[in-house]
Amino acid sequence: MDVLEKNEVLQFKDNEFVLDVNVSPQEETVWLNRQQIAELFGRDVKTIGKHIVNVFNEGELDRNDSVANFASQSSIVDYRTGKEQVLKDRTMEYYNLDVIISVGYRVKSKRGILFRRWANKVLNNYLLKGYVLNNKHFQDIDYVTKILDDYHKVGGRLPSSHSLLEFLKAYQRGFQILDDYDHHTLISPKGEKDLYIIDYDECINLIHETMFTDKGDQFAIEKDESFRSSIATIYQSFGGEDLYPTLEDKASALLYFIVKNHSFIDGNKRIGATIFLYFLSKNRALYKMGQERINNDALATLTILVASSRPEDKDIVIELIKTILN
């Protein structure tokens, strides 16, 4: 980044520890130099420098997006006159919140989690007060609304506007949780153990017995063995450990695989949603603390999102379904 002027300075406090932090609302981040990061995590500057170099060398972050040069001035007092003399301006490298948290993770600092929560709270306050209107902040919502709009343009029927709003709220909450996951600070909910194992035959029978509306001649006709594979995959294990250990893990993966594998000539989204609800029902997990985990319209919207998502987004979409369930 180019040379930046100093931003507003706020204090981060952890008991007796106090640190001045440069806050940049327009970039939606905070900045610290190496000395400050060393103080924050209780390490020497040389160690911090080594970890910063590794963050960039390993390709975890892009240096151009993560480093800024802040202009600063230094001064000395002329002992003969007693007057302060300003020396030539100089610049110093500062690192954004992504770098700070990555280094904190590498040095296994508990204070890193506290600092990130503090920084996010500060930045959110700027947003709430209307100081920042940054399109990047709404990127995730723009992504899902574009998917839904494209689906509607090709003739797909969308749920009611109220249900879409409720889904978007859940979607945004899910991405806030996934942001913690991406920064290695998420304490993932334990989830529940599945009680019932579904199998291919009962699911096929359920599909053919269910009174779906607008069924065409091609509805629920299998193209290949991928539907059987989708069910089997959620029960796979490695080294004695389930790949999808909780019922939330299994339910989320099941919905994704059935919809994305296009196992049927027609009806993949409706079938995926039906088997998803069936799995939750058989595991007595349709409700949590007396409330629906997900209503039908929100599920329909979520299913459209799964169907329209990019294959490379598989893990994040499955994680999103799970966070909404939780």
pLDDT interval class at 84 (50, 70, 90): low
Contact in structure between 268 and 306 (CB atoms under 8 Å): no
49: burial class by Cβ within 10 Å (0-12, 13-18, 19+)? middle
* Cβ within 8 Å of residue 87, ≥6 positions away: 73, 74, 75, 76
Sign of CA dihedral 303, 309, 311, 312: negative
- pLDDT of 53 reads 95
Question: How many C-beta atoms surround the C-beta of residue 97 within 10 A?
Answer: 22
Looking at per-residue confidence, does 123 or 118 come out higher?
118
Average pLDDT estimate for 68-86: 61
Q: What was the pLDDT predicted at 147? A: 60
Q: Does 138 score more than 80 pLDDT? A: no
Nearest to 22 by CA among 9, 36, 35: 9
* Closest C-alpha to 258, from 287, 291, 299, 213: 299
* Statement: residue 132 has pLDDT above 70: no
Q: What burial letters (b/e) apply to 111-124, b meaning 16+ CB within 10 Å?
A: bbbbbbebbbebbe
Q: Report the C-alpha gap between 39 and 13 in whole angstroms.
A: 12
Measured between its terminal Cα atoms, the distance across the chain in Å is 39
- Lowest average pLDDT, out of 79-93, 224-238, 256-270, goes to 79-93
Tell me the DSSP string of 99-145. HHHHHHHHTT-HHHHHHHHHHHHHHHHHHHTTS---GGGGHHHHHHH
Q: Which of 56-70, 125-139, 206-220 has the lowest mean pLDDT?
A: 125-139
Confidence band (pLDDT; 50, 70, 90) for 90? low
Q: What is the pLDDT of residue 144?
A: 60
* Sequence-separated (6 or more) residues with CB below 8 Å from residue 171: 140, 141, 144, 305, 320, 324
158-174 mean pLDDT: 54
d(CA 319, CA 65): 26
More confident site: 28 or 168:
28
- Lowest mean per-residue pLDDT among 18-22, 222-226, 229-233, 309-313: 309-313
User: Model confidence at 83, in pLDDT bands (50, 70, 90)?
Assistant: low
Percent of the chain at pLDDT above 90? 37
Every domain of the chain and the residues it spans: 3-133, 140-325
Please name every residue paired with 25 in a beta bridge, in sequence order, or none if there are none.
none
The residue among 150 and 93 whose pLDDT is bigger is: 93
Pairwise CA distance, residues 167 & 81, whole Å: 69
pLDDT of residue 135: 38
Please, which pLDDT band fits residue 4 given cuts at 50, 70 and 90?
Answer: very low
